[in-house]
Amino acid sequence: MTKEEALNQINYLSKEIETHNYNYYNLSAPIISDFEFDKLLLQLQNLELEFPEFSFDTSPTKRVGGTITKEFKSVEHKYPMLSLGNTYTKVELQEFDERVAKAIPNQSYEYICELKYDGVAVGISYKDGKLVLGATRGDGNVGDDVTENIKTIKTIPLQLRTANFPAEFEIRGEVMLTKKAFQKINSEREDIGEVPLANPRNAASGTLKMQDSSVVAKRNLTCFLYFVYTQNQIFSTHLESLQAAREWGFNVPKHVQTCSNINQVFEFIEHWNTERKKLDFDIDGIVIKVNSYQQQKVLGFTAKSPKWAISYKFKAEQARTKLVSIEFQVGRTGAITPVANLAPVKLAGTTVKRASLHNADIIEALEIRINDEVIIEKGGEIIPKIVGVDKSKRDLLSVEFKYATHCPICHTPLERKEEEANHFCPNELGCPPQLKGKIVHFVSRKAMNIDSIGEETVELLFTNNLVKNYSDLYALKKEDLLHLERMAEKSAENIISGINLSKLIPFERVLFALGIRHVGETVAKKLAVHFKNIDAIAAASYEQLITVEEIGEKIALSVIKFFENDLNKQIVEKLKEYELQMQLDESKTIILSDKLKDKTIVVSGSFTNFSRDGIKDEIIKHGGKVASSISGNTSLVVAGDKMGPEKLKKAEKLNVAVISEEEFIKLINYGT
């Protein structure tokens, strides 16, 4: 291939991939399968390797990240990022409307109402249609250059789609995590023993300032863009600029409405005060802007905010109560979480008695003390949190709260690494909550799936000195259990049966069950596939570990540390003696056919000839891909008895084929 041919092909592939990115992430309407998309991306990557001079900054391959930013440079905003004035009542909004009317007398005007996204404000600059800078708000005049991280966000175009954009401009927006992406991150963090993140906004903010852009890419940030700045005015209204930005390829929100008077604004606010609960992202209010740019110019600015725009903040339901005490919980990895015990109070329909305080920094920022009257609200309307302290009601004799210096259970001095928000108890092999937490993780559904053993049973076994680590489970006999409190013969039989059945659990899940810090389900599977058996993983060097896909320095060091520990090595040897699966069963990963190639399949309900996991295994063996939820990318749904009605409704709405178990068997046997 000549250089000219390579350049043409690279340009063609880049445009195709970005179009498919736009269809998938901005329009939620993909027109090719993931498999076909991955093939296009692989072709582009290979061409760029062969012709590195054509590996441009705007290439879709840059979205996977990989750049390490040791320090974020400060950049001055060409257009200051002002903040909006906040209102909380209709009276204040009415007063805003009166000020607008007074400033532009005898003129008709209209408002644009938009959702107020609870994310991180950014300004993104383009030159000749190419993304050249992404910056955080900072103090409004100077922000941080986070361009490499911005490039990983798939809803932000690297190269604009049409040719009618200004030569240079900036677009403002909000970087966010959807609730689904946030829940996935926290689920993965809990799997690997990490403390869950507090809320989507803080998680998005922290992600945007990560030094490794490849980690940012995996977080699946999104971005809504809503304001265009140009040197010369090219639009007459704000709505026109939004419509143009959407045509250029930006993810411009659809929840926008023009209102000809303040009463219509009130209606928009009342609608979204209820409907916001159905959104997959957080909003905390409504933004109201005068639509006409000419009228905006007349209205002007104060020192801090525009006079032609204002935000209405939804009231978070709050309650006041007394902080009775603060206790410290110890997780299975030794992470210490401070928890506030409160005088019971009603909030958003439930009685709240406890609230997480997250870490020492949060407590210090709140300047909280025992017996304070505290203000609580439900963060994301789910998790109670303390948002303030009424210091005017503080007892004069109250003293500053001192954070724990020792583990509340084993009394080992706590440690806190520079890069960690939480304190940790380092006594992982002698601290009871950590030991019990590791056993609970080991028996959990995603790990060894011993459903006859729950947290209460683990507590019972541990307290009675029958089990001190998870390998001890396999030495239990029925008679060991019968003398325990509330342990009937049938319960004892179920426990022993569940333990014996767990010996059939495949190696990758055994590896996950070991509870190696930072090794979640996905990482365990990749290690198992790469090294094939436990001995190879235990013997692997740092250099060998980091060659595995998705294994970075932190995971590699954690794996090495685990297998360097003598007690861990003894436990693993015991598990081998008890005949747990310690090597990959490659027969279960053999591809039998490509009859389901390029098909993304959702499995729902219960079945006669297969278990649900059995059907999933068959899909993979025949070249298909299993998905957990139905989307526009789903090829078909295999439905058994008691399939969820919501899933069925969604499949019908998206015109996704739904087949029975019998039809599935016919499909994999005959391909029709």
The catalytic residues are: 116
User: Which candidate, 337, 520, 524, 513, places its Cα nearest to that of 439?
Assistant: 513
Q: DSSP string of 268-309?
A: HHHHHHHHGGGSSS-EEEEEEEESBHHHHHHH-B-SSSBTTE
Cβ–Cβ < 8 Å for 134, 62: no
Q: Which amino acid is at 406?
A: H
Only one residue has tokens 């459903």, namely: 451
- The 3-class SS string of 178-237 reads CHHHHHHHHHHHHHCCCCCCCCHHHHHHHHHCCCEHHHHHHCCCEEEEEEEECCCCCCCE
For 538-550, b where at least 16 C-beta lie within 10 A, e where not — what string?
bebeeeebeebee
The two beta strands, 373-379 and 74-76, are: unpaired
Cα(63)–Cα(606) distance, integer angstroms: 39
Cβ–Cβ < 8 Å for 245, 252: yes
Cβ–Cβ < 8 Å for 416, 422: yes
**Sign of the dihedral defined by the CA atoms of residues 563, 569, 572, 576, in that order:** positive
Cβ–Cβ < 8 Å for 54, 656: no
Query: What radius of gyration do the chain's Cα atoms show?
Result: 28
Query: Any idea what DSSP says for residue 23?
Result: I
How are strands ordered across the β-sheet holding 222-229?
130-136, 120-127, 168-176, 222-229
Cα 305 from chain centroid (whole Å): 32
Q: DSSP string of 325-387?
A: EEEEEE-TT-BEEEEEEEEEEEETTEEEEEEE--SHHHHHHHT--TT-EEEEEEETTTEEEEE
The residue count for the chain: 672
